Structure 1
C-alpha cells in the first residue's frame, strides 16, 4: 500500500488527538476539584464562625422557665438578650476569657460556676464582618453563693455591655425567650447545676411539764428558802429523781412561778418570780447546771380558776389555791 493510500487515516489523527487532550483536561480538573470539595466538606468550622454565617438562624432550645434554687456551693448565671435588641448579629459571651455562648435576640443561656469575683466579656458577631479580637466591654461581677444572677446584653450605641439585672425585672424581659444551644460552652471546669436540698428541720424535743402546787412547796405568801418547808423539799427531791431516771441529757429546765390575784399586781409578780427563783436554786444545788435552768414569774396573769374572790379571806385563799403554783418544763434526751 502506498503512502497516498494511508493519508486519509492519517488525516483523522489531529482531530482524535484534540479530543483526547480535552478529555484528559476534564479528568485532571476533576482530580483537582474533588479533593478540594471533599476537604471543604470534612473540615470542621468553629461554632462561633458558623454562628456568624448563620445569624438569625441559630438553633434554639426550650422556652425559658424560671429556674429553682441552686446549691449553696454554686451560682447560676443566666445571660439573655431582649427581643427589643436592634443588633442583627449575635453577642458572644465570655466568662473569665473563656467562650460560653453566642446569643441572638430573644435568647438566653445559663452557666453554673463557683461563687466569687469574675470578669464577663462580650463582643458582637455579624454576617460579613471579621471577628473582633477585643471585647466591646468587660464587666466585673461578684457572684453570690446559692443564688440565680441575671445578666442582660445591653446595646449602648454600637458597643455591647453586660449588665446585672434584678430577678423581678429580668423575669419580665426574658419571658418567651428560648435557650441558645447551637454552641458548646468552653468554660472550665464544667459544672452541672445542682438544686439546693432543703434541710430537714430537726424535730423539736418533747417538753415535759410538771405542775407543783405552791401550797405544797411554800408557806402562804412565802417565797424564800425559809418558806420552803419539809414537804416542799420532798416534792422537789421527787422531781429531781424523776429527771435522773427519765433523762440521759437535760438540755433545758424552765421554772415559771404563778400567784393568785389576792393583793396588788406588782406584789404578785414579785412573789411569783421569787418562788420560781427559789425552786431554780434548789434544782441547781442538786445537780442541774445553772446554764440549763431559767426562772421567770408571771404573777396572776394566767389563772387556773377565775371565779374566786380576791379578798384575803379564808374562803378566797382556799378557793385560789390552784392559782398558786410553780410550773417546771423539762426538755432533753430521754432514756
Structure 2
C-alpha cells in the first residue's frame, strides 16, 4: 500500500467518526455543588444595604434549577435544598426567578416587573415557590418562617454571580430633609371585591369596581405628592399556604390593573401577595371550630387587599 492511499483511508475514517459523533446529543448537565457551612448572619450589614436570602427547600418548588435575576442581572441557580445570600442596595429592587430551560426567553425573564422593597440594615428572606404553569414565584418570609428552613439548607456555590455586590449605593439628596412616609392606606374586603375564591378582572363585583375607581381618582389628584404605591393581597389561614399566597398575589395584580385603567401611573405601583401572613384576627379556628359560618365571618377582616400610598415629607 503506497503512502497516498494510506493517507486517503485515514482521512475518510476520521471524517466518518466526526459525522457519527456530531449526530449524538450532548450529555445533560449534572451538578450538585454546595458549601458545607450552615447559614449564619453576617457580623455587619454594610451601610445603605439589605441582606437578602433566597431559599429553595425541597417542598416549595419542584422542577429543575431555578435562576434568580436581580435588576436583570444573573445572580445564582438554586437546586432543592439550597440557599444563597447577598447584600443589596436598600431601595425598591426588581427580583425575579425562572427555571433553567434551553427554550426560555431569558431577555424577557430578566425584565419581569417584580419589585421588592428592601429595608436598610435588615435581613429579608424570600422562598422560591411553584407558580402557575412554568412560573417561579418569590414569596417573602418572616425571620421565624425562614429559620424553619435554613438549618436544613446548604449554600449553593456552583455558579458565578453577575450582580455587583460591592457597588456604591446611591444616596438620595433633597433640598429639605425628607422622610419616606405612608400617606394613606385603603383596605378593601376581598369578599366585596371578588366573587368567592376568585381573583381575575372578570370576577370583580360592581361594588368593588366602584371602590377601586374612587380610590384611583383620589390617588390621581395627589399623584405629585406620591412617590410610589403598594398593593398587597392577604387571605385567611384556611387552605394551603402556597395556594393562599398565589391567590393573594393574583388579587393584588388585578387591583393594580384596575387602578391603572382608572388613571394611576403603573410604574409607581408595587404588587405583593402575602397570603395568610399578618392576620388581623388569628383565633377564628379556636373560637368557632364547629361553626363554619361563624368562622368565615370571623375571618372576614383577614381576606383583604390593601392599597398604600407613600410620599416624601420634610421633617
What's the TM-score once normalised by structure 2's chain length?
0.44
| Higher relative contact order, chain-length normalized (CA < 8 Å, sep 6+) | 2
